[in-house]
Amino acid sequence: MGRLIVQGQARLVGSIKVSGSKNSALPVFAAALLCDEKVILQNVPDLMDVRTMMEILVSAGYRVDFENGTATVNPATTPNTVIPYELVRKMRASFNVLGPLAAKYGTASVSLPGGCSIGVRPVDYHLEGLQKLGFSIQVERGIVTAHLESKIDHVIISLPFPSVGATEHLMTTAAILDGTHVIIENAAMEPEIEDLADFLNKIGCRVFGAGTRRIEIFGTKRTTGCSHRIIPDRIEAGTYIIAIAATRGDAVVENLNISHLTALFDVLKTSGVIFSQVRQDCVRVTMSESPRPVKIQVTPYPGFPTDLQPQIIAFLSKAQGTSTVIETVFKSRFQHVDELRRFGAKIEVTDGTAIIHGVEKLSGVQVNATDLRAAAALVIAGLMAEGITVINEVDQIFRGYENIVEKLSKLSAVIEYQE
């Protein structure tokens, strides 16, 4: 595992371009399994997780070419519907190929995803939903096998929690259950859900209501190919916006969708950050003082995103007072707090809530990254701190941040990656 060396007291200036969304590309690749014809995906970020998903499609017998951000997927001539453990182990989102493969070929087997550092990651909503769609589910020795047993005419699936992955998995699976009418209630509303629905409708499926809590799908048999451009990565964009503000910088962030980041902008404006919109897909971020403290509740979209929670806590560690961040999506997603305390941050965590007492100074230290968003938070703290920071076990940051060293260097950060 490599490490990042970050020079402190940085001030981020200049401009950077946001890449395509990891969390849109992954479900869209899973949906490409449905296609009977060639699919072209543009603005695909070159990330470890995206490469893993492409490997999964290849292991299923599909042909995948990827060059300069454009991926071409050709349907399988000899499909394989048993996905190897070593691929699924690498990335939880791989599990979402189970439904599409089983819907298209009648049966499929995928290993249960492991846990991860941000908490227990069950898939009960996925499995219960697949059963309601007419699949039998067997779980043996960590392998889940789904088999299309019965034809369902009409079903309502109410999710106990607006799960992003379960919404995407069930929407994609239902899309080709010919003649089946499915309603998903309490669906996730993230922009990535809308992008997935947009893709599914382009290949001939009939998905309505994405972006609301109620999604309706009319299963269709045949699908076509299409060309689709992945939406900008709102979490990557938000991470850089927070980093610019945290270093009292003045920089432009391009190729983002401003409407996907309303909750973040509201929080940062309250803390004193100045935004000026240069274009619809471009914003200038300016901060000249220590942030004012804020109270944040992390909730499913359109609320403040859990994937920016570690980063905003790093930003608030030098605020002019005490801030609170209540995490309601992954209640134990606070492993980064122990590492931030090593910089001198004063943070208490009780029952899913972080209390951040702003300090005057952070000092550069050696730290360990626990997940990709925690790694981003440690980079932000390193840029804010006095002295040098070394972030060990950092390779997972490349799962979600394309060319992060180059992009931060372009913003005048002094940062180096060492194997």
- Catalytic residue positions, numbered: 116
Q: Are 95 and 83 in contact (CB under 8 A)?
A: no
Burial of 252-287, coded b for 16+ CB within 10 Å and e otherwise, reads: bbebbbbebbebbbebbeebbbebeeeeebbbebbb
User: What is the per-residue binding string for ligand EPZ in 77-116, x denoting contact by CB under 6 A?
Assistant: ---------------xx-----------------------
Nearest approach, Cβ of residue 124 and ligand EPZ (Å): 5
Q: Does 400 bind ligand EPZ (CB under 6 A)?
A: yes
Judged by CB under 6 A, the stretch of 56-64, 79-87, 160-168, 217-225 that binds ligand EPZ is: 160-168
Q: Parallel, antiparallel, or unpaired: how do β-strands 39-42 and 226-229 relate?
A: parallel
Judged by CB under 6 A, the stretch of 78-86, 123-131, 358-366, 401-409 that binds ligand EPZ is: 123-131
Q: Are 402 and 19 in contact (CB under 8 A)?
A: yes
C-alpha pair distances (Å), 360 with each of 157, 278, 320, 344, 383: 50, 32, 8, 10, 15
**Residue nearer to ligand EPZ on the CB measure, 286 or 403:** 403
Q: Are 22 and 191 in contact (CB under 8 A)?
A: no
Peptide bond into 75 cis (omega under 30): no
Look at residue 143 and give its three-state secondary structure.
Answer: strand
Give the Cα-Cα-Cα angle 184, 185, 187 (nearest 5 degrees).
80
Q: Does 122 bind ligand EPZ (CB under 6 A)?
A: yes
C-alpha pair distances (Å), 314 with each of 47, 246, 344, 356: 24, 8, 11, 9
The residue with its CB nearest to ligand EPZ is 165
Would you say how long the chain is, in residues? 419
**Residue nearer to ligand EPZ on the CB measure, 249 or 400:** 400
Rounded to whole angstroms, the Cα distance separating 218 from 253 reads 39
Contacting residues for 10 by C-beta, under 8 A, at least 6 apart? 247, 249, 383, 384, 412, 413, 414
Judged by CB under 6 A, the stretch of 12-20, 158-166, 173-181, 283-291 that binds ligand EPZ is: 158-166
Q: Does 123 bind ligand EPZ (CB under 6 A)?
A: yes
Q: Which of 307, 327, 339, 402 binds ligand EPZ (CB under 6 A)?
A: 307
**Residue nearer to ligand EPZ on the CB measure, 170 or 268:** 170
Give the Cα-Cα-Cα angle 285, 286, 287 (nearest 5 degrees).
130
**Residue nearer to ligand EPZ on the CB measure, 272 or 302:** 302
Give, as ranges, the residues between 357 and 376 that touch ligand EPZ (CB under 6 A). 372-373
Q: Does 26 bind ligand EPZ (CB under 6 A)?
A: yes
Rounded to whole angstroms, the Cα distance separating 147 from 134 reads 8
Q: Which of 121, 214, 341, 410 binds ligand EPZ (CB under 6 A)?
A: 121
Q: Are 310 and 373 in contact (CB under 8 A)?
A: yes
Q: Binders of ligand EPZ: how many residues, by CB under 6 A?
A: 22
Q: Does 157 bind ligand EPZ (CB under 6 A)?
A: no
Q: Does 163 bind ligand EPZ (CB under 6 A)?
A: yes
Q: Parallel, antiparallel, or unpaired: how do β-strands 154-158 and 181-185 relate?
A: parallel
Q: Does 125 bind ligand EPZ (CB under 6 A)?
A: yes
Nearest approach, Cβ of residue 165 and ligand EPZ (Å): 3
User: What is the per-residue binding string for ligand EPZ in 317-336, x denoting contact by CB under 6 A?
Assistant: ------------xx------
Token pair of 374, please? 């925690």
Q: Does 165 bind ligand EPZ (CB under 6 A)?
A: yes
Nearest approach, Cβ of residue 72 and ligand EPZ (Å): 22
**Residue nearer to ligand EPZ on the CB measure, 365 or 376:** 376
Nearest approach, Cβ of residue 29 and ligand EPZ (Å): 11
Nearest approach, Cβ of residue 307 and ligand EPZ (Å): 5
Nearest approach, Cβ of residue 54 and ligand EPZ (Å): 15
Side-chain-facing half-sphere of 246: CA atoms under 13 Å: 32
Q: Does 161 bind ligand EPZ (CB under 6 A)?
A: yes
Residues in contact with ligand EPZ by the rule CB under 6 A: 23, 26, 92-93, 121-126, 161, 163-166, 306-307, 329-330, 372-373, 400
